[in-house]
Amino acid sequence: MRTALIRIGELIAVLMIVSFGVFMLVSLLPGDPAVSILGDGRSPEEYAAKRAELGLDDNVIVRYLDWFGGALRGDLGASLIPPQNDVVDRILGALPVSVQLAAMGLLMALLMAIPLAMWSASRPGGLVDRIIGASMFAVLSVPSFLAGLLLIAVFANGLGWFPRAQWVRITEDPLGSLYHSFLPALTIALMELATFTRVLRNDLIGTLNEDYILAAKAKGMPPWRILVVDALRPSSFSLITLLGISMGRLVGSTVIVEYLFALPGMGGVVVNAANQGDYPLVQGSVLVIAAIYVLVNAGIDLSYGYLDPRTRRVHA
């Protein structure tokens, strides 16, 4: 409990620092928000009145405190670009798409990476280990946009097994949503597969040389049991950490995948808002992505106590 409270305090401090950094960086975006709202050709008085209405003439600290206070109440303002919807509504429309893609992609990468890493680590330096290592280097060398185009060419255009540019929300049709999101999620999985496999394989090799593993081998324990039961859990620290980092990063960085498959996710929302000078939408989107990143990694940090009881004793 004490560790959890410490993590919550750290979480609040990090979110405040991130929110201030986001606010200051977005305020440096080129362009005039008043021009973005009113358009060109208006009088200077109209632009000045709109800037005063938006509070842009106030001190930057006052503006930040006003914005952050609204964010704590769930009010991130309104978009500057017509139809000027609430930022929260825009985010709630796009966020589930990116979260589902990131979660499916990471799950698919884990389901492939764990058995490959265990198989590779069971005989390091052997033929299978070399083949898997070479394959992972090949996957790592293929850019995500090229992997997505190849998947589209083969499975969408060639075989016709999957659609390319359709999206079904999981709340409307769960099976249809999984079907339509399979190819973009597989593209994301290929981006992470090689890294997950190599990290887990190296950690497993180190764990398999520990004394308690050697004792289990001396007792005649089956190799599969040693790998799955004794070696996998203590070898997963780096993988779990990497998983948390990847989850937070992918929620807002799947711009290429969303563009290839014409998906309405957070990546496209942030990029379009930045190009249009829609600073309230940029601020709100980045803040939500940062909050997800911090929350996921805080959960990962707390999970270490389950993976290795020694960490609980260290915190105590």
pLDDT tens-place string over residues 55-86: 666 777 888 888 888 888 888 887 877 777 88
For residues 295-310, average pLDDT: 67
The Cα–Cα gap between 268 and 162 comes to 22
Terminal CA-CA length for the chain: 10
Tell me how many helices (H) and strands (E) the chain has: 16, 0
The Cα–Cα gap between 280 and 285 comes to 8
Residue type at position 295: L
Q: Identify the pLDDT of residue 14.
A: 81
Question: Are 139 and 222 contacting, i.e. CB atoms less than 8 angstroms apart?
Answer: no
Tokens of 152: 């589209």
Which residues neighbour 182 within 8 Å (Cβ) at sequence distance 6 or greater? 104, 162
pTM: 0.75
**pLDDT higher than threshold 60 for residue 313:** no
The Cα–Cα gap between 90 and 278 comes to 12
- Dihedrals φ, ψ of 161, to 5°? -80, -30
Question: Are 79 and 188 contacting, i.e. CB atoms less than 8 angstroms apart?
Answer: no
Lowest-pLDDT choice from 96-110, 138-152, 219-233, 271-285: 219-233
Of the candidates 78, 103, 82, the one whose C-alpha atom is nearest the C-alpha of residue 91 is: 78
Q: Identify the pLDDT of residue 315.
A: 45
Domain borders along the chain are 2-72, 94-277
Question: Are 97 and 304 contacting, i.e. CB atoms less than 8 angstroms apart?
Answer: no
Model pLDDT for residues 222-276, shown as the tens digit of each residue: 777 777 777 777 777 778 878 877 877 787 667 778 878 888 888 778 888 877 7
For residues 140-155, average pLDDT: 84
The Cβ of residue 236 has, within 10 Å, a number of other Cβ atoms equal to 22
Domain covering 94-277, topology: MetI-like fold (1.10.3720)
Model pLDDT for residues 42-55, shown as the tens digit of each residue: 777 777 777 776 66
Question: Are 191 and 147 contacting, i.e. CB atoms less than 8 angstroms apart?
Answer: yes
**pLDDT higher than threshold 70 for residue 314:** no
Percent of the chain with pLDDT over 70: 86
Q: Identify the pLDDT of residue 309.
A: 54
Of the candidates 187, 207, 197, the one whose C-alpha atom is nearest the C-alpha of residue 132 is: 197
